[in-house]
Structure formats: structure tokens, C-alpha cells
Amino acid sequence: MLKVGITGGIGSGKSTICRFFETLGVPVYLADSEAKALMNSSPLIRSQLMRTFGRDIYQPDHTLNRKKLAQQIFQSANLLEKVNLLVHPIVRQHFLTWLNKQNGDYVVYEAAILFESGFYPAMDFNILVTAPEEERIRRTMARGDITLEDVKNRMARQWPDKEKMKMADFVIINDNEGLILPQLIELDKKFRAHG
């Protein structure tokens, strides 16, 4: 089964692109959402995070204190890398288990740091979703519960689009100006032909 990676910086609109593929009946694995769930459910991740950040990184209801974790990891490249090295292998294994249960011509694997994590070679094709920086900031701020400083810190921790473009097979510019639907329909046809 064909595996298609989708990535893009914070606020680029990759979730919107994934929803399009879902409406076509394509199975979509949302790596970032699954990672969040696994950070609550995986005993290995839980124990390592408590060892690194202290027991209070988990709240009284046993869920991860995401705000506290984000404040620490997005201000320290070392801590961010440590968390990524812990979480990414478990997410990848979870994806492979999920993949074995899917049917169809292809699946989509969505991850914010697909290239940075080094998982992109496991995909048959990779799509980069881009948008102008001001638009990405506007979209992210519109979600609420995040400061401009936090958005900029997260953006600074991700590779610039020009670096990602070198590794992407397809680039979708999601700037609210060009039509993306025809591009997505064309990609779907291409993937189904390969699948």
C-alpha cells in the first residue's frame, strides 16, 4: 500500500489538506495527535517524561500537562530533541501497526516534523504544505490559547520551507489565493494509479 507523507510548518494548513483526503475515503494517520495520545497512554513515555521533567508533568487526572511541557521544550533545543527521540520511535511503531489494518490504494501520514524527524524516506511520496509566515501566524493565533512568542518559538524549531522543498515530491501553496482543490484531485489520481 502506498504511503504518502504530508507535512508543513505550524499554521500551514496541513490539517485542512488531510481532511480533504479523508473525505475521499483515504485513511489518514495524524502523527501529532497520536503522539499526544501516546504521551498519556504509553507507560514507557510516561515514565521517561516524569524522570526528565518531574512527576508534576502529569496532572492529578493523569493527563500530560501540555502547557508546562511546551513551555520547557520549545525554549530548549536539547529538551525538545530528548522528547522527540523518546516519542517518535513509539509513534512510528504505532503507525506501522495501524497501517497493517488499512485497506485501499494509499494512506496518508501527517506529521509536522516529518523531514526533521527523518521518517520521510519511509514514505513513497511526500507533500509539503506551505503558506506565508504572516498567514501561518494569523491562523495559529486564531486557534487561541497560544501567544505570539510561543508561535514564533515553534516556527523557529522547524526547518524553513526552502529546506523542506528540497525533500518534498509535491508542494501545495496554501496561501488563500491559488486553488488547491484541483491540485489535490490530481494528486489523488496519481496516488491511486500508483497504489
What's the pLDDT score for residue 143? 82
Work out the angle at residue 119's Cα, subtended by the Cα atoms of residues 105 and 94, and round it to the nearest 5 degrees: 70
pLDDT digits (tens, 9 = 90+) for 88-108: 999 999 999 999 999 999 999
* Domains of the chain, CATH where assigned: 2-27+102-194 (3.40.50.300)
Res. 176 pLDDT band, cuts 50 70 90: confident
Q: Name which of 135, 189, 149 is nearest 4 in CA terms.
A: 189
What's the pLDDT score for residue 64? 96
What's the pLDDT score for residue 68? 92
Task: Give the contacts of 175 (CB within 8 A, at least 6 positions apart).
Answer: 130, 131, 132, 135
pTM above 0.85, yes or no: yes
What's the pLDDT score for residue 190? 95
Return the HEC string of the chain.
Answer: CEEEEEECCCCCCHHHHHHHHHHCCCCEEEHHHHHHHHHHHCHHHHHHHHHHHCHHHECCCCCECHHHHHHHHCCCHHHHHHHHHHHHHHHHHHHHHHHCCCCCCEEEEECCCCCCCCCHHHCCEEEEEECCHHHHHHHHHHCCCCCHHHHHHHHHHCCCHHHHHCCCCEEEECCCCCCCHHHHHHHHHHHHHHC
What's the pLDDT score for residue 51? 95
**Which triple of cell numbers denotes residue 122?**
519511509
pLDDT digits (tens, 9 = 90+) for 104-162: 999 999 998 899 889 999 999 999 999 998 898 888 888 877 888 888 877 877 888 89
Mean predicted confidence (pLDDT) in 28-45: 95
